[in-house]
Amino acid sequence: MRGAFFRALMDLAERDDRVYLLVGDLGFGVVEPFIQKFPRRFLNCGVAEQNMTGLATGLALSGKIVFTYSIANFPILRCLEQIRNDVCYHRANVKIVSIGGGYTYGALGMSHHATEDLAIMRALPEMTVVAPGDPMETEAATRALAAFDGPCYLRLGRAGESAVHNSRIDFCVGRAIQVREGDALTLISTGAMLRTTVDVADLLAARGIFARVLSMHTVKPLDVEAVLAAAQETRAVITIEEHRVAGGLGGAVAEVLAEFGVLVPFRPLGIPPSFCAPTGTQEYLREQCGLSTAAIMKSLESILDPVHTSSV
């Protein structure tokens, strides 16, 4: 995802001299091409994320399209007051990019576990929240958010995420992408859990249970129509996210179902409401919190038989 983001950013900066990049003293291996090509549109703000956000706001209010970039929680939690009071209040054209959503930096401990970011960003007025599911969605999201006028949060993995889409996608902020067709149940994924979600759907298909898969890359504004269609046209709705259920995708979907009075079996799968004490690889920590393919299949067992029976 990181490579896809920078490919898109470089192309955008080549075409539009309003595009700026601000970083918090990191990422030089991937940032250097931007520095070399656009030195006057790059700022290393040091380990000072609050200042970085203030500078980004000032540049945006003078007509620039500004991307701030750092890992995991650093570009959001350390400078949340500046994001709220400067960026959002003034509806500044700042795009906050977080690399390492979920347990991507699992070996570095809980300070680097980005597990509440979607909920926090979703709660801010004027903020658009996007978490693409694979490199193709990442490139499309970067371009879409650059064209979007207003504050945006872009949550990415790191590197090595596999491609899910095999052909060109129709990416639109606020509109989910249907990855698999099915009428037995719906699996709604956000962020880098898309690959795992598709793998789960394939395992279900082998059992004769055909799941609709939605890549809900935009958590705010949520695609309400896609959620309601899933609830009305399939027999259960499951959300899958590498994020806490409270306030994230699961919370957002639950709000829609409650607001519209839709009664459907619903299960949000995500990170439990406690800090993860172990350290390890992203794969290991996903397993620990029930987000591996096998763990998700086990979590679905209690609703699979009723769904399968009613769909035959």
Q: Summarize the confidence of residues 81-103 as an average pLDDT.
A: 97
> Vertex 2, ends 291 and 29: CA angle to 5°?
130
**Secondary structure string (H, E, C) spanning 109-125:** CHHHCECCHHHHHHCCC
What is the band of 304 on the pLDDT scale with cuts at 50, 70, 90? confident
Q: How far is CA 179 from CA 146, 183, 194, 220, in A?
A: 25, 13, 9, 20
Where are the chain's structural domains? 2-156, 177-311
Distance CA 300, CA 131 (A): 24
Helix (H, G, I), strand (E, B) or coil at 256: helix
Residues above pLDDT 90, as percent of the chain: 88
| Residue owning tokens 């991937």 | 30
Q: Considering only 7-21, 213-227, 298-312, which range has the smallest mean pLDDT?
A: 298-312
- For 27-81, write each residue's pLDDT tens digit: 778 899 999 999 999 999 999 999 999 999 999 999 999 999 999 899 999 999 9
Query: Quick one: 192 exposed, middle or buried, by C-beta within 10 A (0-12, 13-18, 19+)?
Result: buried
Distance CA 216, CA 213 (A): 9
pTM for this predicted structure? 0.95
Res. 131: pLDDT tops 90 = yes
Distance CA 209, CA 200 (A): 11
Res. 308: pLDDT tops 80 = no
Distance CA 36, CA 42 (A): 9
Helix (H, G, I), strand (E, B) or coil at 156: strand
Nearest to residue 117, comparing CAs of 138, 102, 95? 102
Instruction: Evaluate whether 302 touches 275 at the Cβ level (below 8 Å).
Output: no
Nearest to residue 222, comparing CAs of 155, 177, 258, 175? 175
Record: fold of 177-311? Rossmann fold (3.40.50)
How many Cβ atoms from other residues are within 10 Å of residue 186's Cβ? 28
Distance CA 312, CA 306 (A): 10
**Sign of the C-alpha dihedral, residues 181, 184, 190, 194?**
negative
Res. 309: pLDDT tops 90 = no
> Vertex 10, ends 8 and 12: CA angle to 5°?
70
Write phi, then psi, for 130 (nearest 5 degrees): -130, 135
How much is the mean pLDDT over the chain?
A: 94
Do the domains spanning 2-156 and 177-311 agree at the CATH topology level? Answer: yes
| Superfamily name with CATH number, domain 2-156 | Thiamin diphosphate (ThDP)-binding fold, Pyr/PP domains (3.40.50.970)
Instruction: Evaluate whether 24 touches 48 at the Cβ level (below 8 Å).
Output: yes
Q: How far is CA 112 from CA 79, 143, 167, 276, 280, in A?
A: 15, 27, 33, 11, 12
Write phi, then psi, for 238 (nearest 5 degrees): -125, 130
Distance CA 142, CA 161 (A): 16
Long-range (24+ apart) CB contacts under 8 A made by 221-230 are 221/128, 221/173, 221/174, 222/174, 222/252, 222/253, 222/256, 223/174, 223/175, 223/176, 224/256, 226/175, 226/176, 226/178, 227/188, 227/253, 227/256, 227/257, 228/256, 228/260, 228/262, 230/186, 230/188
How many Cβ atoms from other residues are within 10 Å of residue 236's Cβ? 21
Res. 312: pLDDT tops 70 = no
